[in-house]
Amino acid sequence: MHNTASLPNRITLIGAPTDIGAGARGASMGPEALRVADLGPVIEAQGFQVTDRGNLYGPANPWQPPVDGYRHLDEVAAWNRAVHDAVHEELSQGNLPILLGGDHCLGIGSISAVARHCRAAGKKLRVLWLDAHADFNTHALTPTGNIHGMPVACLCGYGPAQITGLSGQTPDIEPGWVRQIGIRSVDQGEKRLVHEAGLEVFDMRYLDEMGMRATMEAALAGLDADTHLHVSFDVDFLDPEIAPGVGTTVPGGPTYREAQLCMEMIADTGLMRSLDVVELNPAFDVRNKTAELAVDLIESLFGKSTLMRRGA
Ligand SMILES: [Mn+2]
C-alpha cells in the first residue's frame, strides 16, 4: 500500500519554543534547529506546500521545584492552550500541522486539538507515540514532577484540571486509541497505571523479538479511510548513538534503519494528518546532527522511500 498522494497538500509548521515541562533546559531551541536543518524545504521538495507560521509565545521557564507533584503547572497550561488553539485552527483549515517542540508536555495541547477536531468531524483517532518513555506519570507517581513525563496520562484523564479536557471533554482520548512504540524506560508506579489503563505498548523487548516490520503492522492494524493518524515523535525514541541531542537519553533504542522503516510504514498508510516533533535539545546535540536526522526521518514520513517502488 502506498497512498501518500492522499495526504493534504498544505503543511503548516508551528514552533513552540519552550522547555517548560522538561527536566533539562534547551528543548526551547528545538524549532529553530529543525528550521536550520531545512525542515520546510525538505518537505516542500516532495511536492507539498509548506507554511511556517513562526513560533507561538508563552511564559518563560522559571526553573522552580515541583509544587504538589507538578513543576510549572500554570506555565505548562498556558503553553498547551496556545498549542491547542494553533493546531486546531490548522486542522479546521484542512491543513496538516507539524508541531515543532519544545518538550513533550506540548502533546497535551496538540493531541487534545486533534481529538476535538476528530470528534466534530466524526473521525476515528489513532495516536502513535514514538518514545523511549511511556509518559504516563501522574503527580502521585512521578519521581520528578516534570510534566513532559505525563502527557499521555493527562490526555487519558489522569491529571489536574488545567491540563485535562482541553478538547472540551475529559478524557480527551481513550487509552485504546494509543499505540506506544520504542518504550524502554518506565517508572515503577507508572508501569502499574499503564497496565491498569490498558495502553498498548510495543516496547523494545517486543521490537527485539518481533522486528520493526511486525511491530508496525500490529501498531497500524485496523486503520481505515475514516481514521485520523496522529504521530507524536519524541526524538528520544531513537538510539542515543545516532540521536544524542535530547534531554533524556535511554540506550537501546531503534537504529537508523529501524527508524526509517517505522516512518516509511507510517507513510505507506497515507493516513497521517498531524505530527509532533518534540524533545530535540540542541544544547546536547553535536553540530545539529540530531536535528538533521529528525528531518531525514520526517522526510520519510512524508513519503520519501529509500527503495525504488513501482508507482512511487
Ligand atoms: Mn516523550
pLDDT of the chain, 312 residues: tens digit per residue:
445 447 889 999 999 999 999 999 999 999 999 999 999 999 999 999 999 999 999 999 999 999 999 999 999 999 999 999 999 999 999 999 999 999 999 999 999 999 999 999 999 999 999 999 999 999 999 889 999 999 999 999 999 999 999 999 999 999 999 999 999 999 999 999 999 999 999 999 999 999 999 999 999 999 999 999 999 999 999 999 999 999 999 999 999 999 999 999 999 999 999 999 999 999 999 999 999 999 999 999 998 765 555 554
**Ion ligand 1 — residues with CB < 5 Å:** 104, 131, 135, 234
Buried b (16+ CB within 10 A) or exposed e, 106-138: bbbbbbbbbbbbbeeeeeebbbbbbbbbbbbbb
Active-site residue, 172 included: no
CB contact at 8 A, 291 and 38 = no
Our answer to whether residue 133 is catalytic in this structure is yes
Output the nine-digit C-alpha cell for 142.
Answer: 512521578
Prediction pTM value:
0.96
In the sheet that holds 96-101, the strands lie side by side as 49-55, 10-16, 96-101, 272-278, 227-234, 124-130, 178-183, 200-203
What's the CATH number for 10-302?
3.40.800.10
Do the Cβ atoms of 233 and 240 come closer than 8 Å? no
Active-site position among 75, 90, 135, 268: 135
Residues 80 and 109 sit within 8 Å (Cβ to Cβ): yes
- DSSP letter (8 states) at residue 284: G
Please name which of 139, 88, 132, 133 lies closest in space to residue 111, comparing C-alpha atoms: 88
CA of 264 to the centre of ligand 1 (A): 21
In the residue annotation, 234 being an active-site residue is answered as yes
Q: Exactly one of 75, 236, 258, 268 is catalytic; name it.
A: 236
Expressed in angstroms, the distance from the first to the final Cα of the chain is: 10
Neighbours of 59 (CB within 10 A): 15
Domain definitions of the chain by residue range: 10-302
Residue found by looking up cell 520519510 in the block: 300
Active-site residue, 131 included: yes
Classify 101 as helix, strand or coil: strand
- Is 133 annotated in a binding site? The answer is yes
Tell whether residue 226 is among the known ligand binding residues: no
48 CB-near residues (< 8 Å, 6+ apart)? 7, 9, 10, 11, 302
* Catalytic-labelled residue, pool 84, 133, 228, 230: 133
DSSP 149: G
**Do residues 14 and 277 make contact, with C-beta atoms less than 8 angstroms apart?**
no
Q: What is the pLDDT of residue 310?
A: 54
Residue 135 annotated in active site: yes
236 is in an annotated binding site: yes
Distance 175 CA to ligand 1 centre (A): 16
Q: For residue 68, is it left (φ>0), alpha (ψ between -120 and 50) or beta?
A: left
- For 58, 95, 272, the CA distances from 51, given in Å and listed in that order, are 21, 10, 18
